[in-house]
Amino acid sequence: MGFLCNWCSYAGADAAGSARKIYPHNVNVIRVMCTGRIDPQFVMKAFQSGADGVIILGCHPGDCHYKEGNYKALRRFHLLKRMLKQFGIEEDRFRLDWVSASEADKFVAVIQDMVSKVKALGPLRLTPLRPPMEKGRGADVQVKAHG
């Protein structure tokens, strides 16, 4: 899953596409106005919904259209990366990088690198969290005799 900022990285990805550059098709791109808009909940949701990796691409430091959105993203990224590790999500599954509108080649290189690392890790094994019994209003549950 890729979250790309509208002003730099999405344009960079667009440039890669227009130039017919070849890169792995594993990334599903979501365009956001700014990397500063990316709520850590989006990243958690992506993993919870079955993404094997999440990449955030934004403007280079100093180039943010909104001045400091990418710095906010950077601060959240470092803390979130540590926290995801505690949940058992490997570091290589979550990445933040800077891609400007003219860096089509960098976009391709970053995606290739990310995809090869995630492929090496294999799928994220989320255990389906079944409720222990059939959830319901209790009507269908056999009541065992207690001593």
Number of Cβ atoms within 10 Å of the Cβ of 57: 30
Amino acid (1-letter code) at residue 78: H
Give the contact letters, 72-111, x = binds to another protein (CB under 8 A), - = no.
Answer: x-xxx-xxx-xx--xxxx----------------------
Count of alpha carbons within 13 angstroms of residue 105, beta-carbon side: 0
133 binds another protein (CB under 8 A): yes
The least distance separating another protein from the CB of residue 23, rounded to whole angstroms, comes to 26
Nearest CA-CA partner of 2 in 38, 21, 15, 18: 38
How far apart, in whole angstroms, are the C-alpha atoms of residue 14 and residue 112? 16
Strands 94-98 and 54-58: parallel
18 binds another protein (CB under 8 A): no
Give the contact letters, 35-74, x = binds to another protein (CB under 8 A), - = no.
Answer: ----xxx-xxx-xx------------x------x--xx-x
The smaller minimum CB distance to another protein, of residues 17 and 62, is found at 62
143 binds another protein (CB under 8 A): yes
